Each structure stands twice: as structure tokens, then as C-alpha cells.
């Protein structure tokens, strides 16, 4: 058994899990968060659902801002090229 310590939390993992995480370059912390997220979703935890919805909306807004920023930058560079 291997021990993974993250922010005052200690988790014991199997050797097979350690090898697979290393092979596929998956950080233990990310694997742990994903596992917890799956378990919360399976249990229909409302607080988790609300946080997940907000997180997804925030990511969508960030992507939209980046897209609009790129469009603006492309438009400004085209104007400068036309001068």
C-alpha cells in the first residue's frame, strides 16, 4: 500500500493504482477529487450539484471571454494591417 498526502488528508492506495496513475500521468489529487465527485453525484448531494453547475457556468463564461478577446485582438490587428 502507498500513502498519498494532500492538504492534511492521507489516503492509502493500492500498488496497482499507483502504477496506473504514473503510467497515465494522473496526479493523485486529481484522481481523489474525481472519485469524490463521482461518489457525491451518485448520492445526489444537492450542494455538490449546485457547486458543479456554478463551476461549469464559470468555465463557459471564461471560454466565451477568451473567444471574444481573440476576436477583438484579431479585429484590431486587421485594422492596423489595413493602414
Q: List the Cα angle 28/6/55 in 5-degree steps.
A: 75
Span 33-54, pLDDT tens digits: 888 888 888 888 777 777 777 7
> What's the whole-model pTM score?
0.46
What domain range includes position 63? 45-83
Q: Are residues 39 and 60 in the same domain?
A: no
Q: What is the pLDDT of residue 5?
A: 58
Q: Are residues 49 and 59 in the same domain?
A: yes
Q: Are residues 34 and 1 in the same domain?
A: yes
Residue 69 predicted with pLDDT over 80: yes
From first CA to last CA, the distance across the chain in angstroms is 67
Span 18-32, pLDDT tens digits: 898 899 998 888 888
Q: Are residues 35 and 68 in the same domain?
A: no
4 bridge partner residues: 11
Q: Are residues 35 and 61 in the same domain?
A: no
Domain count of the chain?
2
Amino acid at each position: 500500500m502507498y500513502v498519498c498526502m494532500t492538504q492534511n488528508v492521507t489516503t492509502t492506495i493500492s500498488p496497482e493504482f499507483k502504477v496506473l496513475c504514473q503510467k497515465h500521468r494522473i496526479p493523485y489529487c486529481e484522481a481523489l477529487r474525481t472519485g469524490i465527485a463521482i461518489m457525491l453525484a451518485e448520492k445526489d448531494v444537492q450542494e455538490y450539484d449546485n457547486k458543479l453547475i456554478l463551476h461549469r457556468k464559470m468555465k463557459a463564461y471564461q471560454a466565451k471571454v477568451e473567444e471574444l478577446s481573440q476576436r477583438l485582438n484579431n479585429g484590431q490587428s486587421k485594422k492596423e494591417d489595413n493602414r
